[in-house]
Amino acid sequence: MIEALRRDLNKSGVSAAFVLVLCLLGLAPAASASDQATARNEAAAHHQWLALIHSRGGIAQIRDPEFLLSAAGFSPRAELDATLVRLRDDPAARCRFPARTVWLKQRGLLEDASLDHCPEVVEFRARAPIDRVEAVFASESITSPASMLGHIFLKVSGTRADGTRAEHAISFFTDAETWNYPKLLFDSLVIGKRGYFALAPFDTALRQYLTEEQRTVWLVPVRFSASQVEVFSLHLLELKNTRLTYFFQDYNCATLVHFLLSVGDRPLPDYSQWMTPKDIVRQVADADMAGASTVAMPSRVLARLVASDADVAGIADDVLQARLDQWQPAPDTRGYLQWSFAQSFNRLAREEGRISPEVARRNEEALRPWAMTQYAGYAISPDPRFDPTRAPQETQWLFEGGTRGGKSGLNITFRPVSHELDDDNRSYLAETEMQLLTPTLRVEHGGRASLDRLVIYAMRSLQPHDRLLGGLSARFDLRWDSQWHPLSGRRQFLLVSGGAGRTWRPAPDLDIYALASVGAGARRSDAFAFGGVDAGLIVRAVWDSKIHVSAARSWNEANGRRASDRVGLVVSHYVRRNLTVRVRAATQRQDARYERLAEIGLTWMY
């Protein structure tokens, strides 16, 4: 009996052990599948993967089906799964997605990441090796609406197998060479424009901004680990073979560079609804990825900077007449500034065709010995106020309350990007304004609310002018806005206008300007032309403030077939970099009738 019981227990133990082994074997694949799903989820949410597929806020910024493999039902996880399937089923797909291949291998989701069979990868590594990445910011320009916010691109450099150093510019842009601003804005904001992703010699790109467009250029080294430089460089090839669509407000040069730099070890902060070139410089600094920056100044900017601190009128004549071989600058700071002006003005005169290349060469030879002797230890540094990381943020809310035409009310303005003339423009080389898709809601006493105006696009640039260096001031407006008529009050029209003139800077903190403009207005069947002149002075006063006094005369405003005059005063105080208090007063007169405005406002920037 006892022996039979022992036999039964032994048999039961063997059976239980057998069942336990089977259970463990069955659970092992399940546990492995669960771990793999977790790994994929973590990879799909990683900032580097989101950067590689250009996903922001869960939205794919590139819709090219050759790039986006999950276009029908996009999500970062769906794109990761589709990529893994493609790379495993088609080894040639690694050549189309080399960066994804290497990154998925680094995450342990792909076994084989060899790219030696990809001719384009091999050639790119040989011709454009990368061991250093720099973010390059080119300052604003009035030559194009797309340039009023500046431009951001990348400089990549490395050493080839033969020991030579290769330097290239990586840039994303669209064709904006047109004066048909309404069509340009519609195309770039609504339907999108063809985007061009280009790799070019860096010297060529630098010469374009410094010489042809006279824009100051900041170079900011970006810290990357060696492993992520490899992924970054291979991602350039992925974009090279992708059809990109440029949207000014959504997928522009800043957006693309943001994704490229987010391939690095640290995610770049994303705190802007509308990403601008200056945002990228701030993001690199905020992520603690920025090295010590350097600045390259164009000849006009450098000449203007030096001329403000030295007597240079006679030196300019010596440059133009090729008399520098007879010139003896003093061996002191003032002499160095004059020598620096001679250098920069000589380059500017050659670039503008005011002197021949031969005369420019003779001037350079006359100036060269001074650099090797008494000025060897001197250098010119740009004003730190112009550092793009110090500029105010470019998204604004403006609240203004007061009276207009005897009626009290509150104006609420949202400016999604950039600034107006009365903002803190000390980080710009000139007083400028740039507004895009800026609505203003007016709430009058009693609660009645209405759209007061919509600025579709507006720019103003008051470039100081002088005899030696020139300088043009210009403005352009396209808006739905009101004009004042003494009998019918304010009426809203679609208005387009443009003008040009000059600005003088008799003192560092004082600008005086005068512009003439023409325009057209329309509302239903009511269409008319108008014109005007306006002048003013801007004082950048003490205690972080600005005073702007203006006067204007306009003809046929609101189709009234009469002339009207307007005077205005705006006082702005910059409480903090992101907060401004403003007081505004104005009076407009036609014959014996007046409209008066008095408001106090608060601008918050982020």
* pLDDT for the residue numbered 13: 46
Report the chain's terminal Cα–Cα distance, integer Å. 88
Contact 528, 495 (CB under 8 A): no
Q: State the average pLDDT over residues 73-101.
A: 95
Which of 5-19, 209-223, 299-313, 365-379 has the highest average model confidence (pLDDT)? 209-223
Please enumerate in sequence order all residues whose Cβ is within 8 A of that of 459, keeping only pairs 6 or more positions apart, or say none. Answer: 142, 145, 148, 432, 433, 434, 435, 474, 475, 476
Amino acid at 585: A
* pLDDT for the residue numbered 419: 92
* pLDDT for the residue numbered 476: 93
**Residue 43 — φ and ψ, nearest 5°?**
-65, -40
Instruction: Report whether pLDDT(176) > 80.
Output: no
- Residue 549: name the closest of 565, 569, 535, 571 by CA: 569
Q: What is the dihedral of CA 338, 341, 346, 351, to 10 degrees?
A: -170
**DSSP string spanning 524-587?**
TTEEEEEEEEEEEEEEEETTTEEEEEEEEEEESGGG-SSEEEEEEEEEEEEEETTEEEEEEEEE
Nearest-angstrom CA–CA distance, 547 and 573? 9
The pLDDT tens digits for 309-320 are 778 878 999 999
* pLDDT for the residue numbered 262: 95
* pLDDT for the residue numbered 223: 93
Q: Greater confidence, 364 or 313?
A: 364
* pLDDT for the residue numbered 59: 92
Q: What is the pTM of this model?
A: 0.84
Nearest-angstrom CA–CA distance, 150 and 215? 9
* pLDDT for the residue numbered 146: 59
Structure tokens given for 569: 């005063």
Q: Greater confidence, 187 or 64?
A: 64
* pLDDT for the residue numbered 14: 44
Q: State the average pLDDT over residues 436-462.
A: 92
* pLDDT for the residue numbered 162: 93
Q: Greater confidence, 560 or 146?
A: 560
- Residue 606: name the closest of 349, 347, 398, 312 by CA: 398
The pLDDT tens digits for 394-442 are 899 999 999 999 899 999 999 998 899 999 998 888 899 999 899 999 9
Instruction: Report whether pLDDT(486) > 80.
Output: yes
Strand runs (DSSP E) across 275-419, as ranges?
A: 294-296, 396-404, 407-415, 418-419
For the chain, give the mean pLDDT: 89
Residue 269 CB neighbour total at 10 angstroms: 15
Residue at token pair 């407009």: 588
Q: State the average pLDDT over residues 546-571.
A: 95
Structure tokens given for 556: 């046929």
**Residue 154 — φ and ψ, nearest 5°?**
-120, 145
- Residue 498: name the closest of 470, 459, 554 by CA: 459
Which of 42-56, 130-144, 443-457 has the highest average model confidence (pLDDT)? 42-56
Q: What confidence category does residue 387 fall into, taking pLDDT thresholds of 50, 70 and 90?
A: confident
* pLDDT for the residue numbered 26: 44
Share of residues in the chain with pLDDT > 70 (%)? 94
Please enumerate in sequence order all residues whose Cβ is within 8 A of that of 284, keeping only pairs 6 or more positions apart, or say none. Answer: 135, 220, 222, 261, 268, 290
Amino acid at 438: T
Residue at token pair 């002499």: 335
The 8 Å CB, 24+ separation contacts for 61-69 are: 61/250, 61/251, 61/255, 61/259, 62/242, 62/244, 62/245, 62/251, 63/245, 64/242, 64/243, 64/244, 66/96, 66/241, 66/242, 66/243, 67/238, 67/242, 67/243
Structure tokens given for 544: 């972080």
Structure tokens given for 490: 């304010």
* pLDDT for the residue numbered 358: 95
Chain-centre distance of CA 96, in angstroms? 30
Q: Checking phi first, is residue 471 left (phi over 0); if not, alpha (psi -120 to 50) or beta?
A: left
* pLDDT for the residue numbered 328: 85
8-state DSSP, 117: T
Q: Greater confidence, 34 or 81?
A: 81
Structure tokens given for 121: 């990868």
* pLDDT for the residue numbered 142: 64
Share of residues in the chain with pLDDT > 90 (%)? 64
Nearest-angstrom CA–CA distance, 462 and 68? 45
Q: What is the 3-state secondary structure (H, E, C) of 407-444?
A: EEEEEEEEECCEECCCCCCCCCCCEEEEEEEEEEEEEE
Provide the H-helix boundaries in 156-311. 181-186, 202-207, 226-240, 253-262, 277-286, 299-307
* pLDDT for the residue numbered 339: 92
The C-alpha angle with vertex 601 and arms to 600 and 605, in degrees rounded to 5, equals: 165
Residue 513 CB neighbour total at 10 angstroms: 24
Instruction: Report whether pLDDT(45) > 90.
Output: yes
Q: State the average pLDDT over residues 502-506.
A: 95
Q: Greater confidence, 549 or 507?
A: 549
Instruction: Report whether pLDDT(266) > 60.
Output: yes
The pLDDT tens digits for 116-172 are 899 999 999 999 999 999 999 999 876 665 577 889 999 999 999 999 999 999 999
Instruction: Report whether pLDDT(11) > 50.
Output: no
Which of 31-35, 183-187, 423-427 has the highest average model confidence (pLDDT)? 423-427
Q: Greater confidence, 6 or 552?
A: 552
Nearest-angstrom CA–CA distance, 387 and 577? 14
Q: Greater confidence, 27 or 375?
A: 375
Residue at token pair 């918050």: 604
* pLDDT for the residue numbered 143: 60
Segment (H or E) for 68? none
Nearest-angstrom CA–CA distance, 409 and 450? 11
